[in-house]
């Protein structure tokens, strides 16, 4: 059985994926943005091993979360599920970053660098990643008029680029991205048309299945099937540019992290 850490698992798809994995007999550690939400996660997923708290809009707290994860020992998989939507106005974090970028895009990078290397990494993207700005200019929205939809789309493109960069640099790790579909979660809204029951299945499958189709890397999925994606995500120059911007904005560099042992 696998041991899996899932960010943003106090509700929504993260919680649903956690329940699937626990019901299959896997060990699951949950995450909420504060202690109350972490407690809510434990109540919502009976049988989960533990729940950690951290506000992923904070670089400091995200770094601390990685330390907490490492203190719990080895994990076979990490599902980078936590995210915020685009309906809210611009919120600036204490690190002077838009919260959509900080939570959806930068936090997965920090955790990828600092959590001791699992065998599998799963990044939750969206079909809207195809509307993201592939130039990767002005990630912090310093020189652009704020647009929540565009900021969200950008962050979901970043998730795919990061997943593919990790797949390229860590050939012994299965690193993939997926879109769960537009479903009726709190973020998706009540009118979302896709099948909610199917939305958490692919990430749980990628995290723990021994099916040959799940033991791949550098792929993009929808409902356990390969799906076309924005081709810029496969551009090595784009991958390197994004990693460099992540380092600059977070202060977390790839070179001293555990993943460096495998060439990250």
Q: What is the pTM of this model?
A: 0.94
Distance CA 40, CA 32 (A): 8
Domains of the chain: 3-262 (3.40.50.720)
Task: List the one residue out of 8, 26, 33, 113 whose CA is nearest residue 77.
Answer: 26
Verify whether residue 172 is a known catalytic residue.
Answer: no
For tokens 């290397």, name the residue.
Answer: 117
CB distance 148 to 88 below 8 Å: yes
Residue 116's φ and ψ, nearest 5 degrees, are -55, 140
Neighbour tally for 182: CB within 10 Å? 17
Q: Are 29 and 5 in contact (CB under 8 A)?
A: yes
Token look-up 């019901």 returns 23
Catalytic residue among 109, 123, 156, 238: 156
Residue 106 structure tokens: 């930068």
- Determine contact, residues 144/98, Cβ cutoff 8 Å: no
Pairing of strands 50-53, 27-32: parallel
Q: Tell me, what's the pLDDT at 88?
A: 74
pLDDT confidence of residue 263: 42
* pLDDT tens digit at each of 264 positions of the chain: 999 999 999 989 999 999 999 999 999 999 999 999 999 999 999 999 999 999 999 999 999 999 999 999 999 999 999 999 987 789 999 999 999 999 999 999 999 999 999 999 999 999 999 999 999 999 999 999 999 999 999 999 999 999 999 999 999 999 999 999 664 455 555 655 566 678 899 999 999 999 999 999 999 999 999 999 999 999 999 999 999 999 999 999 875 454 544 444
Residue 123 appears among annotated catalytic residues: no
Q: Please, is 165 exposed, middle or buried when counting C-beta atoms within 10 Å of its C-beta (0-12, 13-18, 19+)?
A: buried
Name the active-site residue from 109, 152, 174, 246: 152
Q: What tokens appear for 66 in the block? A: 């990685």
Beta partners for residue 27, in sequence order: 3
pLDDT of residue 198: 82
pLDDT at 184: 42
How far apart CA 216 and CA 194 sit, in angstroms, is: 25
Partners of 41 in beta bridges: none
């Amino acid at each position: 059985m696998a041991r899996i850490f899932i960010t943003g698992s106090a509700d929504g798809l993260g919680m649903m994926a956690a329940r699937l994995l626990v019901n299959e007999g896997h060990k699951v550690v949950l995450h909420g943005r504060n202690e109350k939400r972490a407690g809510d996660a434990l109540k919502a997923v009976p049988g989960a091993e533990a729940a950690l708290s951290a506000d992923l809009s904070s670089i400091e707290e995200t770094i601390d979360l990685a330390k907490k994860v490492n203190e719990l020992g080895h994990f076979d998989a990490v599902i980078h599920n936590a995210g915020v939507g685009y309906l809210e106005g611009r919120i600036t974090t204490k690190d002077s970053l838009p919260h959509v970028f900080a939570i959806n895009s930068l936090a997965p990078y920090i955790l990828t660098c600092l959590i001791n290397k699992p065998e599998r990494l799963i990044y939750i993207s969206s079909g809207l990643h195809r509307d993201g700005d592939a130039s990767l200019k002005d990630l912090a929205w310093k020189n652009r008029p704020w647009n929540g939809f565009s900021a969200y789309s950008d962050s979901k493109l970043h998730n795919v680029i990061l997943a593919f960069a990790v797949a390229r640099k860590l050939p012994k790790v299965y690193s993939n991205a997926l879109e769960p579909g537009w479903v009726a979660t709190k973020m998706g809204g009540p009118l979302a048309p896709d099948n909610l029951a199917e939305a958490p299945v692919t990430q749980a499958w990628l995290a723990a299945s021994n099916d040959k189709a799940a033991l791949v890397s550098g792929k993009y999925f929808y409902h356990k099937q390969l799906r076309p994606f924005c081709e810029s995500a496969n551009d090595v120059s784009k991958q390197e540019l994004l990693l460099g911007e992540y380092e600059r904005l977070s202060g977390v560099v790839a070179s001293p992290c555990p993943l460096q042992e495998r060439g990250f």
